Amino acid sequence: MHDWRTHYASKLVSAREAVKAIRSGDRVVLGHACSEPPALVTALASRAAELRDVEVFHVVVMKPCELANPGMEHSFRLNGIFLGPCTRKGVEEHRATFTPCFFSELPRLFRQKILPVDVILLQVTPPDEDGFCSYGLSADYTQAAAESAKVVIAQMNRNMPRTSGIRIHLDALTWIVEEDAAIAEVATPQFGELERQIGDLIAELVPDGATLQLGIGAIPEAALLSLRDKRDLGIHSEMFSDGVVALAEAGVITNRRKTINPGTFIATFLMGSSKLYNFVHNNPAVEVLPVDYVNDPWVIGQHDNMICINSALQVDLTGQVNAEMIGDVQFSGVGGQVDFVRGASRSQGGKSIIALPSTAVRGTISRICRRLDEGASVTTSRNDVHYIVTEYGVADLRGKTMKQRATALISIAHPAFRDTLRNDPSLVATRQA
């Protein structure tokens, strides 16, 4: 076997040197979330005056993303399948674009060259004895993009936690930039009494021994707090954060009863504080794997008692879930919601739970609504939906008629809106026998 050390020095460059490989018109894929390489992003942004029409493809982007700033759009056009605080405004102001896509599908789009990749910018750990670097906090689409890209540029960071799962050999890296930046930390979402009530209702649906997926936002985090009296829970989740570490340390999460990958936490990316990063570093019980495995409904469905907990912005009276748009403004994206809803529906004893506060905008808008806002898209369809939970209760929609669904959903709407929803003339359709 050849010694990777021989070639290492010849690949070592500064960030500014490395990003010279990027040309106008290229598609550049950004490493995901906390694995986004800050040194490379800053170096690329400094080339704005020289570059035109570089497409920067992303999912979750970390702050501060100079590439997303107003005025950068002629050099860098952001295109993502998920929007957050850094990327939302650009799409709203038509400086950036959004591509609808299930998270689980993304690796296929890269591998099949439906989205050909010119360059990937990623962040990895230093190599092990055999020359393999860990992908660290994010495996998701990164491996597929790296294997499809013409140029692979890695920021090698000694602070990046070394996780089990997949790894990349130094031979596959075109350029290496050694820079030990602090790993981005993401605060646990704040929640109050209302989310706690919703968490308690969710906990009633979770049996001991269940395997959990937890979505993004305050409600999944609150649900974890309500699960502290359960036993032998397991994790097979798109991502997880500090709340899962707390339950593991309390002995509630053991992964002992998982049907597949027993004894192991499975995720496709990780996002939290240094507490999480210390927990996963060199921990053989945590595997960070590609999203086309973790989010594959067929894989998810093999777990008995798979419980998926996600959130939404609004739900109409037939059970259509909008989790990504406020009116016709794109707020986030489908992410893994539908992947896990469908996986749970195939699981023996599985349940998918969409939980949301009953109102928005200080109680002035009902999130249980007659129909979704004009322009809003359906994230989870009424054919896929199972449980909807608000602070007023649980509606089990599976196998229910239109009329039964409307009745169940009105019963968990905020009381101030129930009469309006019940008496709406357009509800005639849902009053079928």
Report which of 210, 394, 384, 206 is spatially closest to residue 297, judged by C-alpha positions: 384
Residue 331 binding ligand COA, by CB under 6 A: yes
If the CB atoms of residues 157 and 366 are measured against ligand COA, the closer one turns out to be: 366
If the CB atoms of residues 84 and 209 are measured against ligand COA, the closer one turns out to be: 84
Are the CB atoms for 352 and 340 separated by under 8 Å?
yes
Residue 332 binding ligand COA, by CB under 6 A: yes
Residue 310 binding ligand COA, by CB under 6 A: yes
Residue 58 binding ligand COA, by CB under 6 A: no
Place of tokens 């906990």: 203
If the CB atoms of residues 23 and 370 are measured against ligand COA, the closer one turns out to be: 370
Residue 343 binding ligand COA, by CB under 6 A: no
If the CB atoms of residues 115 and 315 are measured against ligand COA, the closer one turns out to be: 315
Residue 216 binding ligand COA, by CB under 6 A: yes
How far apart CA 281 and CA 159 sit, in angstroms, is 10
Residue 144 binding ligand COA, by CB under 6 A: no
Active site residue 238: yes
If the CB atoms of residues 142 and 311 are measured against ligand COA, the closer one turns out to be: 311
Strand ranges (E), 62-190: 76-80, 97-98, 119-124, 132-134, 151-156, 164-165, 167-169, 175-178
Residue 394 binding ligand COA, by CB under 6 A: no
Question: CA separation (Å) from 369 to 82, 197, 410?
Answer: 24, 21, 9
Structural tokens at position 2: 């050849």
Of the candidate residues 41, 61, 201, 313, the single one contacting ligand COA (CB under 6 A): 313
Residue 323 binding ligand COA, by CB under 6 A: yes
Least Å distance between CB 153 and ligand COA?
Answer: 27
Structural tokens at position 421: 């929803």
Least Å distance between CB 61 and ligand COA?
Answer: 14
Place of tokens 């109409």: 316
Structural tokens at position 316: 């109409």
Of the candidate residues 218, 223, 248, 408, the single one contacting ligand COA (CB under 6 A): 218
Position with the least CB separation from ligand COA: 217
Residue 157 binding ligand COA, by CB under 6 A: no
Residue 45 binding ligand COA, by CB under 6 A: no
Binders of ligand COA in range 347-366 (CB under 6 A): 360-361, 365
Which among 36, 195, 221, 238 is annotated as catalytic?
Answer: 238
Q: Going residue by residue from 223 to 262, which x/- string records binding to ligand COA, judged by CB under 6 A?
A: ---------------xx-----------------------
Structural tokens at position 107: 């690796």
Distance, C-alpha 374 to centroid of its chain: 26
Of the candidate residues 302, 314, 347, 430, the single one contacting ligand COA (CB under 6 A): 314
Number of residues that bind ligand COA (CB under 6 A): 23
How many Cβ atoms from other residues are within 10 Å of residue 162's Cβ? 18
Least Å distance between CB 103 and ligand COA?
Answer: 7
Of the candidate residues 172, 326, 402, 427, the single one contacting ligand COA (CB under 6 A): 326
If the CB atoms of residues 172 and 326 are measured against ligand COA, the closer one turns out to be: 326
Crossing angle for the helix pair 242-249 and 218-225, to the nearest 10 degrees: 10
Q: CB under 8 Å to 220, separation ≥6 — which residues?
A: 214, 309, 310, 311, 355
Residues pairing with 214 in the sheet = 309
If the CB atoms of residues 312 and 397 are measured against ligand COA, the closer one turns out to be: 312
Residue 367 binding ligand COA, by CB under 6 A: yes
Backbone angles phi, psi at 158, to 5 degrees: -70, -15
Q: CB under 8 Å to 413, separation ≥6 — which residues?
A: 358, 366, 368, 390, 392, 421
Residue 337 binding ligand COA, by CB under 6 A: yes
Stretch that binds ligand COA, among 34-42, 87-95, 330-338, 403-411 (CB under 6 A): 330-338
If the CB atoms of residues 66 and 105 are measured against ligand COA, the closer one turns out to be: 105
Please provide the size of the chain in residues: 433
How far apart CA 86 and CA 61 sit, in angstroms, is 7
Residue 194 binding ligand COA, by CB under 6 A: no
How far apart CA 114 and CA 121 sit, in angstroms, is 19
How far apart CA 61 and CA 385 sit, in angstroms, is 29
Q: CB under 8 Å to 9, separation ≥6 — which residues?
A: none
Interacting residues with ligand COA (CB under 6 A): 215-218, 238-239, 310-314, 323-324, 326, 331-332, 335-337, 360-361, 365, 367
List residues with catalytic annotation. Answer: 238
